Amino acid sequence: MLIVSVMMSLMYEEIAPLPCVDKLAFDTQKQAEAAALTADYQRGITLKTYQCRHCGLWHLSSAS
Ligand SMILES: [Zn+2]
Protein backbone atom coordinates (compact mmCIF):
# COMPACT_ATOMS: atom_id res chain seq x y z
CA MET A 1 0.00 0.00 0.00
CA LEU A 2 2.40 2.63 -1.25
CA ILE A 3 -0.24 5.34 -1.57
CA VAL A 4 -1.32 4.99 2.03
CA SER A 5 2.19 5.29 3.34
CA VAL A 6 2.82 8.37 1.18
CA MET A 7 -0.34 9.98 2.52
CA MET A 8 0.66 9.12 6.06
CA SER A 9 4.04 10.72 5.62
CA LEU A 10 2.44 13.84 4.13
CA MET A 11 0.13 14.10 7.14
CA TYR A 12 3.04 13.60 9.43
CA GLU A 13 4.93 16.44 7.72
CA GLU A 14 2.02 18.74 8.49
CA ILE A 15 1.65 17.96 12.15
CA ALA A 16 5.30 17.36 13.00
CA PRO A 17 6.68 20.18 15.13
CA LEU A 18 9.58 22.10 13.71
CA PRO A 19 12.94 21.01 15.10
CA CYS A 20 13.47 24.60 16.22
CA VAL A 21 10.16 24.96 18.03
CA ASP A 22 11.90 25.51 21.38
CA LYS A 23 14.27 28.16 20.10
CA LEU A 24 13.89 31.88 20.21
CA ALA A 25 12.83 33.11 16.79
CA PHE A 26 13.05 36.60 15.32
CA ASP A 27 11.36 38.03 12.28
CA THR A 28 14.42 39.92 11.10
CA GLN A 29 18.15 39.59 11.37
CA LYS A 30 18.23 43.01 13.03
CA GLN A 31 16.07 41.79 15.89
CA ALA A 32 18.17 38.66 16.28
CA GLU A 33 21.37 40.68 16.34
CA ALA A 34 19.94 43.03 18.95
CA ALA A 35 19.11 40.04 21.15
CA ALA A 36 22.58 38.61 20.57
CA LEU A 37 24.12 41.91 21.67
CA THR A 38 21.97 41.92 24.81
CA ALA A 39 23.11 38.40 25.69
CA ASP A 40 26.69 39.46 25.17
CA TYR A 41 26.22 42.48 27.44
CA GLN A 42 24.28 40.77 30.18
CA ARG A 43 25.82 37.34 30.26
CA GLY A 44 29.03 37.59 28.29
CA ILE A 45 27.77 35.05 25.80
CA THR A 46 28.71 35.52 22.17
CA LEU A 47 25.93 34.43 19.88
CA LYS A 48 25.64 34.47 16.15
CA THR A 49 22.51 34.82 14.10
CA TYR A 50 21.38 32.55 11.33
CA GLN A 51 18.30 32.20 9.17
CA CYS A 52 16.55 28.94 9.82
CA ARG A 53 15.88 26.63 6.91
CA HIS A 54 12.93 25.10 8.72
CA CYS A 55 10.83 28.10 9.69
CA GLY A 56 12.53 30.91 7.73
CA LEU A 57 12.94 32.99 10.89
CA TRP A 58 16.15 34.00 12.58
CA HIS A 59 17.64 32.12 15.51
CA LEU A 60 20.66 32.56 17.72
CA SER A 61 23.36 29.96 18.08
CA SER A 62 26.35 29.99 20.32
CA ALA A 63 29.51 30.73 18.40
CA SER A 64 31.87 27.83 18.71
ZN1 LIG B 1 13.52 27.77 12.86
CA of 5 to the centre of ligand 1 (A): 27
Per-residue pLDDT at 18 exceeds 90: no
CA of 18 to the centre of ligand 1 (A): 7
Q: Is 32 exposed, middle or buried (0-12, 13-18, 19+ CB in 10 A)?
A: buried
Check residue 16 and give its pLDDT: 73
Mean pLDDT over 45-61 rounds to: 96
What would the pLDDT profile of 21-46 be if each residue is shown by its tens digit?
A: 889 999 999 999 999 999 999 999 99
CA of 21 to the centre of ligand 1 (A): 7
Per-residue confidence band for 17, with pLDDT thresholds at 50, 70 and 90: confident
CA of 62 to the centre of ligand 1 (A): 15
Check residue 64 and give its pLDDT: 65
C-alpha separations of 61 from 4, 5, 6, 14, 18 in Å: 39, 36, 34, 26, 16
| 3-state SS class at 59 | strand
